[in-house]
Amino acid sequence: MLKQWGWLSVLVVVADQATKYFAERLLVMHQPVPVTPSFNLLLTYNTGAAFSFLADAGGWQRWFFLGLGLMVSIGLLIWLGRLKPAEKRLAAALALILGGAVGNLIDRIWLGQVIDFIQLYYDRWYWPAFNIADSAITLGAVLLVLDSWRSKKSDPVKNPAKGS
């Protein structure tokens, strides 16, 4: 399945890196550019993980998140390579997560931090800035959960009421 779905991971990495390149070239740090109501472009950097977790940890977190991202990416590659042809939804989910993980991993390797530039808000409530890689990881995670639920519903061993 890796050969069949690797293109999706590559597409995510290319889109992520291209948009981050343009964000760095066209945006001014912490200066929001309104796009639509509730959506700004806003260049910022994250040395931590999701929601800036461990962002102020003193520098060791760069190496921790690099190692973690590398291990997760290798694990996803192996998992994706072992899937059966019928497991398309699971393959798409894993390919999206892998592409997002690699996109953010590239930033951590080259910059020591992740470039974020998408800001959503409502009134005075602002969601933490994120990027294309984060979006792919989130979409992949949602697909993973949906695949898990649907697999349980359709498996007569796990759900005897659906059997025979």
What does the pLDDT read at residue 135? 97
**Which among 56, 116, 147, 155 is annotated as catalytic?**
116
Known active-site residue 147 = no
Residue 108 has which token pair? 């951590």
What does the pLDDT read at residue 164? 47
CA distance 160 to 150: 14
91 found inside a domain: yes
Domain that holds residue 118: 2-150
* Total domains present in the chain: 1
155 found inside a domain: no
CA distance 23 to 42: 8
What does the pLDDT read at residue 114? 92
160 found inside a domain: no
The vertex-121 CA angle with 13 and 21, nearest 5°, equals 30
**Which among 16, 134, 147, 155 is annotated as catalytic?**
134
11 found inside a domain: yes
75 found inside a domain: yes
Q: Is the backbone of residue 31 left (phi > 0), alpha (psi -120 to 50) or beta?
A: beta
CA distance 136 to 83: 20
58 found inside a domain: yes
Q: 2-26 vs 88-111: helix axis angle to the nearest 10?
A: 40
Known active-site residue 134 = yes
Neighbours of 33 (CB within 10 A): 15
125 found inside a domain: yes
129 found inside a domain: yes
What are the 10-residue block averages of pLDDT along the chain, 164 residues in total? 88 98 97 97 82 54 78 95 94 97 93 94 94 97 92 59 51
Q: Provide DSSP, 11-75.
A: HHHHHHHHHHHHHHHH--TT--EEEETTEEEEEEEESSSGGGTTTTS-SHHHHHHHHHHHHHHHH
